[in-house]
Amino acid sequence: MKKWMTIICTSFLLLAGCGKTGQQEEAALPEIIEADLAVPEKAEVGEEVTLAVTVSQGNEAVEDANEVKFEIWKEGQKDASELVVAEHTEKGKYEAAYTFSENGLFNVQSHVTARDMHTMPTKTIQVGEVEAEHHEHQEESGDDHHHHDSDVSIELQKPDELKAAEQTALAVHLQKSNEPLLKAKVRLEIFQKGQNPAWVNMTEGTNGEYKTDYSFPASGEFIIRIHVENDEGLHEHTEVEVTVE
């Protein structure tokens, strides 16, 4: 009798242990990758500058990124952008040297693919003399004056592969002066060229993260334009091109 009781108790313990392990494995979701983009605020024409992005996952430096590139384009000339491959240097840092050949306001966007995730933060650099300009962006609701703040970092987090007609988790990470930007209104304007856009409101999470789910209606090339506003008059926007299978 004691032998049977021992066998039964041992079986219950094993089952309990397996259930606990399964719950722990299910809860152990991978942390998102973070990309800290560093570019000079200003540069001169003909001056070689260093573009750098430091990639991490939690407290771990990502040394094994699949691909890191910098996309560079003059303001308003996204179609003429240039891609520069970055090289790994140390402790999750990837760098590339670049020389600007003309005056203007330029966007630098790092494309980081690592551990089945992709992230694309963007920053702006002023090259040489730039005339003061008043940027206006027209939407269906009317003309809005937009304040462009170089201290604001907008980073889109998405799966490495996007598939049509499937719910896709999208996240936007916002920072202002290297601090999480809280209580912002974040909307995604998602469209294919020549098509009417879909407007998607994002929900604020923690530490400057805003989330939503979206199902792309078809395969092909899409533009995701990220709009960020707050009660202090901030209005930033940036756009990312993605491929949907």
What pLDDT sits at residue 72? 93
Does the pLDDT at position 141 exceed 50? no
> Which value, to the nearest 10 degrees, does the dihedral of the CA atoms of residues 37, 42, 48, 51 take?
0
- Was domain 149-245 assigned CATH 2.60.40.10? yes
- For 65-122, what is each residue's pLDDT tens digit? 999 999 999 887 888 889 999 999 999 999 999 999 999 889 898 888 888 888 888 8
List the single range of 24-38, 44-58, 130-144 with lowest mean pLDDT.
130-144
List the single range of 4-8, 17-21, 25-29, 139-143 with lowest mean pLDDT.
139-143
Query: Are the C-beta atoms of 46 and 101 separated by less than 8 Å?
Result: yes
> Which value, to the nearest 10 degrees, does the dihedral of the CA atoms of residues 72, 78, 79, 83 take?
20
What pLDDT sits at residue 13? 52
Domain pair 32-128 / 149-245, same fold: yes
What pLDDT sits at residue 17? 56
Does the pLDDT at position 147 exceed 60? no
Segment 131-160 mean pLDDT: 58
- Give the DSSP letter of residue 162: B
Compute how many other C-beta atoms are within 10 angstroms of the C-beta atom of residue 47. 13
Under the banding of pLDDT at 50, 70 and 90, the label for residue 19 is low
Compute how many other C-beta atoms are within 10 angstroms of the C-beta atom of residue 181. 25
Query: In sequence order, what DSSP letters do the residues of 180-219 get, joined into one string?
Result: E--S-EEEEEEE-TTSPPEEEE-EE-STTEEEEEEE-SSS
Does the pLDDT at position 134 exceed 50? no
User: CA–CA distance from 208 to each of 69, 115, 180, 241 (Å)?
Assistant: 25, 22, 5, 22
Fold of 32-128: Immunoglobulin-like (2.60.40)
Beta-sheet pairing, 42-43 with 122-127: parallel
- For 199-224, what is each residue's pLDDT tens digit? 889 999 999 999 999 999 999 999 99
Question: Domain residue spans in the chain?
Answer: 32-128, 149-245
Calculate ∠ Cα 209-115-26, nearest 5°. Answer: 75
Query: Are the C-beta atoms of 207 and 200 separated by less than 8 Å?
Result: no
Determine what percent of the chain is predicted with pLDDT higher than 70. 80
Determine what percent of the chain is predicted with pLDDT higher than 90. 44
The Cα–Cα gap between 221 and 110 comes to 19
For residue 141, the number of C-alpha atoms closer than 13 Å in the C-beta half-sphere is: 3
Does the pLDDT at position 135 exceed 50? no
What pLDDT sits at residue 11? 53
